[in-house]
Amino acid sequence: MDLTYRPRRLRRSPSLRSLVREHALTPCDFIYPLFVHEGIEIQPIGAMPGAMRWPIDDLVGEVERAWKLGIRCVVLFPKVSEELKSEEGTECFNENGLIPKAISRLKKELPEMTVMTDVALDPYSCDGHDGIVNSEGIVLNDETIENLCKQALVQAQAGADLVGPSDMMDGRVGAIREALDEDGFEHVGIISYTAKYSSAYYGPFREALDSAPRSNTSKPIPKDKSTYQMDPANAREAITEAQLDEQEGADILMVKPGLAYLDIIYRLRQESELPIAAYNVSGEYAMVKAAAERGWIDEKSVVLETLLSFKRSGADLILSYHACDAAQWLKE
């Protein structure tokens, strides 16, 4: 055949392929999500094989393991005791609460590790929502933000490097930025859950934290989070959310979930110069684990390909429960 250009010329050997490779993964790309609880035992999470709820003492060892693998950021999520939950989620700003204690311990034991937090009420709410639910079943925006600001301040005081508002209340990034700055925490960054969709992929995470919406005999409770999380059918709306978060002072923008929303990551990459994070969520993790356990896929190959797809679509950072495994595989 008389072909001027043959793309296969540059695929002929591993060394040639590496020369022209457009994207690459490193352990520094990963943020490792960790579940924390007040108990003394490590608790496996049924819907997330390999993931655990960590007591603080054991959490330190797991974070040290991640550091040795090259991971430089962890994010903490609390499994809160039922008796501490309330309609307004006030435990979220308890200075002696689980997350402040965990942050303080980690920064003492491993000060160089970047510690990110979650800013939302759902782990602390007896209603299971990210905001305060009034007597009519409406999730209140402005009243919720008051508690989120208090929560972010307590986390910053404990030593958090990044606070991550995941609640999707309007205006919360600007309010948190102002609260942090006024209290002398202008150095603490905000990694905003900018385009967080009302997704079916969050089920295993909600099992891990017992944070799903729950019925309440005293008032109607919305069955899902669609009045504040984004509609999966919408893409242009994500640009609006990104522009608002950037104007309000976000340092990093996040898309959640990641795998089903690669187009959103790409759109935000075209619109913003800020770093973009992708959240490889619990449902995505669980599906890979389930298929691998049945021998239907090669877990290592599928995980690394999936994580690479986030980088290719424009993500700079990837939150993934596969983080430690992936970091180890990249060293092999």
Active site residues: 196, 256
* Strands 132-133 and 114-119, bridge-based pairing: unpaired
Which residues does 192 contact at the CB level (< 8 Å), separation at least 6? 164, 165, 173, 245, 250, 252, 253, 254
User: In this structure, what token pair is assigned to residue 19?
Assistant: 């020369």
Q: Is 183 left (phi over 0), alpha (psi -120 to 50) or beta?
A: alpha
Q: d(Cα 52, Cα 167) in Å, to the nearest integer? A: 23
What is the helix (H) or strand (E) element at residue 61, kind and residue range? helix 56-68
86 DSSP β-pair partners:
125
Cα 137 versus chain centre, distance: 27
Which residues does 77 contact at the CB level (< 8 Å), separation at least 6? 33, 34, 35, 36, 118, 123, 205, 208, 209
Cα 161 versus chain centre, distance: 15
Q: d(Cα 139, Cα 236) in Å, to the nearest integer? A: 24
Report which of 195, 155, 152 is spatially closest to residue 175, judged by C-alpha positions: 152
